[in-house]
A = this chain, B = another copy of it.
Amino acid sequence: MNYFETEIRVRYAETDKMGVVHNANYFAWFDIARVEFFRTLSHSYRELDDGGIYFPVVESYCRYLQPARFDDIICLRLQIKKLSYAKFTFGYEVRRKDDGALLATGWSVHGFIDASGKPGSIKKWRPELWEDLQKAFAAHSNNG
């Protein structure tokens, strides 16, 4: 397994009048994948956030293949696609758990900033986390 995976269930409030999940919600799901991924590393998203380290989204993209529907269990898969001291790119897959169907793919680019909004180096700020991210990047890119 060369990706990180977490599951959610589609909420009623996430659907729209087309009867399927509204396009904007996939980006909130990408958030969730990131948060759960960081929980497996030395510093959780919350701990970083509370410590004044943020990963604002610089770019985000989604390709919608098949609609997600109310009550579907959704597998969110995440990979680190690019990694540097100052910036990283996550790749995402959104799958329906039931049959494994690929519903969407996407990616997002993030910088590292402190509470004052100044960009910085994650290697300098959190060396352990930098090690963890490098390992995850290596693991994901070997055969992904």
* Interface pair A64/B71, CB less than 8 Å apart: no
- A interface, over-half SS: mixed
Expressed in whole angstroms, the Cα–Cα distance for A25 and B70 within the complex equals: 17
Is A128 among interface residues, defined by CB-CB distance under 8 A?
Answer: no
Is A22 among interface residues, defined by CB-CB distance under 8 A?
Answer: yes
A interface bracket (residues with beta carbon within 8 Å of B): 35 or more
* Interface pair B46/A56, CB less than 8 Å apart: no
Known: A56-B64, A59-B62. 17 other contacts (CB 8 A): A11-B35, A12-B28, A12-B45, A16-B16, A17-B19, A17-B70, A18-B54, A23-B57, A24-B26, A24-B31, A35-B71, A57-B64, A59-B63, A59-B64, A60-B62, A60-B64, A61-B62
